Amino acid sequence: MGGPSIFPEAGGVRLSGGEVVVEGFTCILHSKGADFLNRLKHIVPALLLTVMLAACAQEVTTEPQPTKTPPTPPAQTEPNETEPRYTAPFTGLRVEEPILDRPVMVMVNNHPKARPQSGLDQADIVYEILAEGEVTRFVAIYQSQKPAVIGPVRSIRPYYIQIGAGFDAVMVHAGGSPDALDMLSRSDYAYINEISNSGYFWREKFRQAPHNLYTSADLIAQAMKDKGMRMTSELPRFSFLPDNAKILGSESAKEIQVTFHKLYSAGYTYDEKKGKYLRLTDGKPHLELSSEKQLEVTNLLVLGARHRVLDSEGRRQVDVVGPGDGYLFQQGSVRKIKWKRSGGVIRAYEDEALTKEVQFLPGNTWINIVPDSPSLSASVTYQ
C-alpha cells in the first residue's frame, strides 16, 4: 500500500499510503493503492477534498479537554451604609454627621451637698481638681452631647480657666476667685457668669444655695447667640484606637483609689461587661441625679501636678501645663505615662521624650489631677 504522498506536508495535513494524516490523528480512506490515489489527485477538486478531510476529522474520537474555570474573585465587602462615617472629636465615638460646635465648659460643684450632680454622664471630658480645702470641682467639657440639665454650677479659678481656654470653650460659671475674675476681664475669653447673666440659669428648691444652681445646653446656646459669641471652633484633636481594640500587656488595675486630700478620695471599679470603670466618691457609688445610674469612665488619667496654697482661704495654684508623671487606666489595666499641655490641652505620652502620644479608647475621658507631693504613688493605689 506504499506510495508517495500526493500532497505537500504543510499545515499539519498529509496523504500517505492510503491514509490522511491530520494534525496528529489518522483517518483511513476506504480505497487502496497508489493508482487510485493518483486518480483521486486529478478527479477531486481541492474544495471537495477539504470537505472530506473535515468529515474525516469529525469521526475521530478525542479525549475531552478539561475546561479551565476562571479563579473565583475574592469576596467584596460591601460598605455598611448604616454605619456612621464620622467620629466625635473628643470621644472618638461614631456620629451621624460632623460636629463642629464650639465646646462648652461648665464648672460643676462637688460639695457633698451638691451630689449627685446632673449632666456629668454626658460630658466628653471631665477634669477633677482641688479647689479650696478638701473639696474638688469638676471641669465638664461638652461638645458631642447637649444635656437638658447641668449642675450644680459653681465658681471658677485661674487653672480652670487655663483648661477651658485651651479648648476654645465658652466657660460657664457662677462667680470666681478675685484672680480668676480679673483674668477673665482682661482677656478675650468667652464666658457666661451667672452673677450678671441669671436669666440663663435657674435654682432648684430641693437643695439650698449655693448648691442648687443649674443651667442647660439650650440656655447656654441661647446665651452665646444673644451675646454674639462664635458658635463653631477649631477643635483640638485626640488620637483614638479602633472600636474593637484590646489593651494587652499592661499591669492589672481593676480597683483604683485616688486620694486628693486626706479628707477626700475617689475610687473606680472596673466592670468587665461594660468595659468601663464605675466611679465612687468617698467609698460610695457616684450617681447621675436623674437616671440614678453610676457614672462610667472609659479612659481614666491620674496626673501628678504641683499644688500650692495661696491664701488663708485655701485657694490654690495648680500646674496644668506640666510636664509630669501619671497613670492611664483602660480596660482594667494600667500603664505609666508622661503628660504635658500641648496644642492647648493636656496630653499623655508613652515616652520620656514626650513625642509618642497615647491613644484613647473611643468613649469619655476623666482626668484626675492630684498633688505630686510627697509623690504620685502616694496618691494613687490600684490592684
Residue 81: its pLDDT value, please?
56
**pLDDT tens digits for 45-98?**
443 334 333 443 344 344 445 444 444 444 444 445 566 789 999 999 999 999
Beta bridge partners of 203: 213
Residue 83: its pLDDT value, please?
67
Residue 82: its pLDDT value, please?
65
Residue 249: its pLDDT value, please?
81
Residue ranges of the chain whose pLDDT lies below 50:
1-16, 18-64, 66-79
Could you please state the CATH topology (level 3) that the domain comprising 86-226 is classified under.
YerB-like fold (3.50.90)
The three three-digit cell numbers of residue 151, written as one number: 449642675
The three three-digit cell numbers of residue 182, written as one number: 480679673
Beta bridge partners of 309: 316
Please name the residue that has the C-alpha cell 463642629. 100
Cα gap 17→1, rounded to integer Å: 5
Distance (Å) of CA 261 to CA 38, 149, 194, 340: 122, 29, 29, 23
Could you please state the CATH topology (level 3) that the domain comprising 251-382 is classified under.
YerB-like fold (3.50.90)
The three three-digit cell numbers of residue 30, written as one number: 476506504
Start-end ranges of CATH 3.50.90.10 in the chain?
86-226, 251-382
Residue 352: its pLDDT value, please?
95
Residue 226: its pLDDT value, please?
98
Cα gap 188→343, rounded to integer Å: 18
Q: Extract the runs of DSSP E, i.e. beta strands, from 96-211.
A: 104-109, 125-130, 136-142, 170-173, 191-193, 202-203
Residue 250: its pLDDT value, please?
85
Q: Is 383 helix (H, G, I), strand (E, B) or coil?
A: coil
Beta bridge partners of 19: 16, 28
Dihedral angle over CA of 162, 167, 170, 172, nearest 10: -50
The pTM of the full predicted model, rounded to 2 decimals, is 0.79
Contacts of 310 (CB under 8 A, 6+ apart): 316, 317
Residue 297: its pLDDT value, please?
98
Residue 310: its pLDDT value, please?
93
